[in-house]
Structure 1
Amino acid sequence: MWTVLLLLGLAVLLLFKRRTRRRNEPPLDKGIIPWLGHALEFGKDAAKFLTRMKLKHGDIFTVRAAGQYITILLDSNCYDAVLSDVVSLDQISYAQSLMKRIFSLNLPSHNPESEKKRAKMYLQGDTLTQLCSSMQKNLNLLMTPSDKGLETSEWNKDGLFNLCYSLLFKTGYLTIFDAEKNNTAALTEIYEKFRQFDKLLPKLARTTVNKEEKQIASSAREELWKWLTQSCLDGKTGRQSWLGSYIQQLQDEGVDAETQRRAMLLQLWVTQGNTGPTAFWVMGYLLTHPEALRAVNDEIQCVKHLCPEEGRNHTPVFDSVLSETLRLTAAALITRQVMHDKTIRLSNGREYHLRRGDRLCVFPFISPQMDPEIHQQPEMFQFDRFLNADGSKKKDFFKQGVRVKYPSVPWGTKDNLCPGRHFAADAIKELVFTILTRFDLELCDKNAVLPLVDTSRYGFGVLQPAGDLEIRYRLRS
């Protein structure tokens, strides 16, 4: 009897809470499963799902996923105007929710805007030059024959993803976290623990980890907290560095020592979670596209006589390769919580109403990056897509005769640009140039193609491969 009454009560509750589309709201697609809606399809392959929704509904629509209503905006020419409203659209509450799930971190009084301003001070201008110089030294240290145990004529096999990710992770860790530079075994252990954690990050965000995975993630976090505490919170980190400034900010905000310790893992992932995978895709596209590889090698020969800082600013071919790689692999979801009812206007002049309590998501991977009206054959890698005929950087892209603001959005939008983008790009360039100049490198299988992407990574920055690309390499004499 009580079971029947409970079921009737739930049915009535669902009936009264049933949502319908109101006038001037985006198209509403709730899916066929009550409450759950499109959550499973969304989480399994967000790009495939949202592309299907775009074809069905257009550049704006609302979907239901696990009880949450999410409006997806795919008109790239209005991203800036919409996301500039930080009063009605809050980026902090959802970010804090993810920090708790992924990093077991609670920073309720933290000020992201203040953190961004501090980061700009240390990751741009003259300090960027110093940071890049330190990064180059650390990378060279890690790639010396004695460190890797290489003989000049000896071929070594590895997975390209592992090679790129491990080298850039270790380089970034030494550079940004000011860690000890003479313990190769410790660096390898930190990297392996980080990879254990990083592999589970999408599941942690979606709270779909099983018991065993939860234990693995918890153990990896504890080990990383221990290592990072030794590197960052024992007085070794200078207050004039970006990391030292961040620690000082946390202390000024009254954050306790344990929370500071946990915050270091967040910063480790933010600074190192995307550069290694990006370098893999760059090298992978070059190795599987001989014309692109020849063009980059020719450019390296042209700039090798320049000083490092000057050389980094005269590489239009590589810059196009990097832009094209990021167009194909940068797939973050920019998410905001709708705090107040709000009307937004698309670039065609049409207005739509957003409800308080919903979420708004922008997914640049679909638009503009994979939009066939902006990029011909968008699924194909074209190394010179971002070059004009005269070899200069191409900036003008059009859709239906109208210039698009962004042909690609790998670093965020106007008011939310990643402050560390210049350092990340320089680190990727330095790794690629070093590999191409100091090593003979080739595919183990001449006919190999790049692995498919891990579709669970859509929404979490640069994509990662579902497999690896086997290579062999040796030091040049």
Structure 2
Amino acid sequence: MWTFVLTLTLVLLLFLLLLLTCISRTRSGDEPPLDKGRVPWLGHALNFQRDAAKFLAEMKKKHGDIFTVCAAGHYITVLLDPNSYDAVLYDSDSLGYCGQKTLQMVFGLNLTNHNRAEEKRWMGQCFHGAKLESLSRSMYRNLQVLLGSAEMVHNLNEWKEDQLFNFCYSLLFKAGYLTLFGTEHNSSDRELATIYKEFRTFDGLIAKLARSALKSGEKRVANSVRKRLWDLLSPPMQSEIGAACSWQEDYRQYLEDSGVDKETQRRAMLLQLWITQCNAGPAAFWLLGFLLTHPQAMQAVQREMDSLQQQAPASELPYLDSQGSTPVFDSVLSETLRLTAAVLISREVKQDVMLNLADGRSFRLRRSDRVCLFPHLSPQMDPCIHQEPEKFKFDRFLNKDGTKKNDFFKGKSRLKYFTMPWGAGTNVCIGRDFATSTIKQFVFIVLTCFDVELSDPNSSMPPPNTVRCGFGMLQPKGDLNIRYKRKALL
């Protein structure tokens, strides 16, 4: 009894101390504008969770390109000037990685003593050069097999109904799983469907997991599905459906050689499954959705694809890599990612430091605070950079002569960062070339080999689910009903 009372008293005292700290904090003259919100300690946490983009846009309008907000006891300095992003991205001395707590909450994974820099170097070798080419071609073959399956082409003369998000996510997940976590064409449809179903359940809860916002029933579901995925990705399962030479097994061996224990290896596989599979499906949904709802864009892409098809040998589908010469298609993809990629780049302030902005101003960041960049808001949705940023313009990233456009300005200043779907600097996505190749190849095969159309020609794109801001690609709040049928042999 006395132990319980003592524990409760200590918890209350700690909470009161945190509360007093939050109430007493004031802005010094050399710090960014401070907005603590109306509720002590909680601050702006709920607004941040509901719709980070809307909340931060309001804060930007109120305070400018840099400000500090309170959210659940944390003080977060948000920088929204893309010309100053390098000051955060490349300062590893004063600004450090702050994702370990999230890894623990979401994936049950403790990698505190793991060498992240060495792992990043290892990953870089896997997703560049000859190894990237091998993975991309394997993905291409797996997509061809899945899109040419009996389920997809059961009757050449009949239309098949589906929802676009499920269509894209399921096919790209299965092909990606076969490419990285198994070997080509070796998993049964039932096994792939099981893993995909469990993954989608987990993916649907990930934002709440990261923010400790799960309800009691959701907690049980999250813990259960996470355990099932650990089991499905463990060696016994892989020995039945995969080969020891898969990328997954190479990564497991790397962890083994690095001294990571078996249980941590098992849990790390779920992290890698989510990182490698959570963005391509949603990105393909938005890309195809924008094309289906914007006929002029679809016609321009189809013309480019027809030209590629004519250059290929008869009855052979061209292979597109991430560097292929497809300026129209690339512009459509860049515009899609500009509108729907919502990465949040976060650092922990390891020591008091002066942050020097591109316009000559300097602000002091306090030790133990966090500093965040939100490229979705700036530069991607900044009207000073992209005219009518909320609209889909398929040729936004094309010059008048049809070449790729790289020159974007804010005022008179040419921007280094005018869109950042893959992050930047030390925070850039290592697998971006593989992801780009995957998305392009999938959409190319679908549009070349299938007639695809909206079930209702008057359908419009669903709005994004803003709760997922900060977790990579946004997902839709709703879907698009489509129908498709085979028009050519794969």
TM-score calculated relative to the size of structure 1: 0.94
CA distance in 1, matches of 2:13, 2:114: 44
CA distance 1:123–1:238, change in 2 (3 Å): farther
**What's the counterpart of residue 471 of structure 1?**
482
**What's the counterpart of residue 126 of structure 2?**
122
Determine helix, strand or coil for the equivalent of 1:200. helix
CA distance in 1, matches of 2:120, 2:14: 48
CA distance 1:173–1:310, change in 2 (3 Å): closer
Q: Once the two structures are superposed, what CA deviation does each residue of 1:340-364 show, in whole Å capped at 9, x if it has no partner?
A: 0010111101000000010111000
Instruction: Give the Å deviation of 1:414.
Output: 2.1
**Match for 2:257: what amino acid?**
D
**Match for 1:35: what amino acid?**
W
1:66 aligns with 2:72: yes
Range with greater deviation from structure 2 (19-28 or 223-232)? 223-232
Determine helix, strand or coil for the equivalent of 2:91. coil
Instruction: Give the Å deviation of 1:13.
Output: 7.3
CA distance in 2, matches of 1:81, 1:348: 12
**Match for 1:373: what amino acid?**
C
The gaps in structure 2 that reach 5 residues or longer are: 1-7, 313-317
1:330 aligns with 2:341: yes
**What's the counterpart of residue 4 of structure 2?**
none
Q: Once the two structures are superposed, what CA deviation does each residue of 1:330-385 show, in whole Å capped at 9, x if it has no partner?
A: 10110101110010111101000000010111000011000100000000000010
CA distance 1:447–1:343, change in 2 (3 Å): same
**What's the counterpart of residue 160 of structure 1?**
164
Determine helix, strand or coil for the equivalent of 1:176. helix
**What's the counterpart of residue 441 of structure 1?**
452
Query: Is 2:319–2:441's contact at 8 Å kept on the other side of the alignment?
Result: no
Determine helix, strand or coil for the equivalent of 1:461. strand
Determine helix, strand or coil for the equivalent of 2:483. strand
**What's the counterpart of residue 423 of structure 1?**
434
2:39 pairs, out of 22, 27, 33, with 33
1:361 pairs, out of 365, 372, 375, with 372
CA distance 1:32–1:125, change in 2 (3 Å): same
Where in structure 2 are the equivalents of 1:273-312 lying within 5 Å? 273-304=278-309, 305-306=311-312, 307-309=318-320
4+ long deviations beyond 4 Å: 6-17, 231-239, 309-312
The gaps in structure 1 that reach 5 residues or longer are: none
Query: Is 1:440–1:473's contact at 8 Å kept on the other side of the alignment?
Result: yes
Range with greater deviation from structure 2 (408-417 or 32-41)? 408-417
Instruction: Give the Å deviation of 1:233.
Output: 6.5
**Match for 1:155: what amino acid?**
W
**What's the counterpart of residue 5 of structure 2?**
none
CA distance in 2, matches of 1:468, 1:424: 22
Instruction: Give the Å deviation of 1:7.
Output: 9.3
**What's the counterpart of residue 401 of structure 1?**
412
CA distance 1:231–1:133, change in 2 (3 Å): farther
Query: Is 1:145–1:151's contact at 8 Å kept on the other side of the alignment?
Result: no
**What's the counterpart of residue 140 of structure 1?**
144
**What's the counterpart of residue 175 of structure 2?**
171
CA distance 1:10–1:428, change in 2 (3 Å): closer
**What's the counterpart of residue 103 of structure 2?**
99
CA RMSD, aligned part only? 2.3
Instruction: Give the Å deviation of 1:147.
Output: 4.0
Instruction: Give the Å deviation of 1:109.
Output: 1.3
Where in structure 2 are the equivalents of 1:221-240 lying within 5 Å? 221-230=226-235, 234=239, 238=244
Instruction: Give the Å deviation of 1:201.
Output: 0.3
**What's the counterpart of residue 30 of structure 2?**
24
CA distance 1:51–1:231, change in 2 (3 Å): farther
Instruction: Give the Å deviation of 1:464.
Output: 0.3
Would you say how many aligned residue pairs link Structure 1 and Structure 2? 472
1:196 aligns with 2:165: no
Q: Percent same amino acid among aligned pairs?
A: 53
Instruction: Give the Å deviation of 1:107.
Output: 1.2
Range with greater deviation from structure 2 (411-420 or 437-446)? 411-420
Q: Once the two structures are superposed, what CA deviation does each residue of 1:445-466 show, in whole Å capped at 9, x if it has no partner?
A: 1111110111100010010001
Q: Once the two structures are superposed, what CA deviation does each residue of 1:162-221 show, in whole Å capped at 9, x if it has no partner?
A: 000000000000001125624011101110110000000000000111111111112211
Determine helix, strand or coil for the equivalent of 2:122. helix
1:264 pairs, out of 263, 269, 275, with 269
CA distance in 2, matches of 1:53, 1:381: 25
TM-score calculated relative to the size of structure 2: 0.92
